[in-house]
């Protein structure tokens, strides 16, 4: 899990990024009206890996952790 420390939404635990192995990058954003996390695939031209830093696993909300396990089903 990653965050963009320069983004106030990331700092507030509202936006996270995930990538498995060398697969696509996803942006996870909490939608208050839906009361759930929404994933959107992020294209490589939309971001730079230098903008991201590793998020401590403890900072990832439990609902997002559950949704990640469903998203990355093997």
Instruction: Count structural domains, the chain.
Output: 1
Q: What is the pLDDT of residues 3-36, one digit of tens each?
A: 888 766 555 668 999 988 888 889 999 998 998 9
Residue by residue, DSSP assigns the chain as -EE-TT-HHHHTTSEEEEE-TTS-EEEEEEETTTTEEEEEEE-GGG--GGG-EEPPGGGS-HHHHHHHHHHT--
pLDDT score, position 10: 55
Q: Which domain holds residue 9?
A: 2-71
pTM: 0.81
Q: What is the pLDDT of residues 32-70, one digit of tens each?
A: 899 899 999 988 776 676 788 898 899 899 999 998 888
């Amino acid at each position: 899990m990653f965050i963009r420390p320069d983004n106030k939404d990331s700092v507030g635990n509202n936006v996270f990024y995930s990538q498995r192995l060398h697969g696509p990058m996803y942006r996870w954003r909490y939608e208050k009206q839906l009361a759930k996390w929404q994933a959107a695939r992020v294209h490589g031209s939309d971001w730079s890996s230098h903008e991201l830093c590793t998020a401590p696993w403890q900072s990832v909300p439990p609902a997002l952790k559950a949704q990640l396990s469903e998203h990355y089903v093997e």
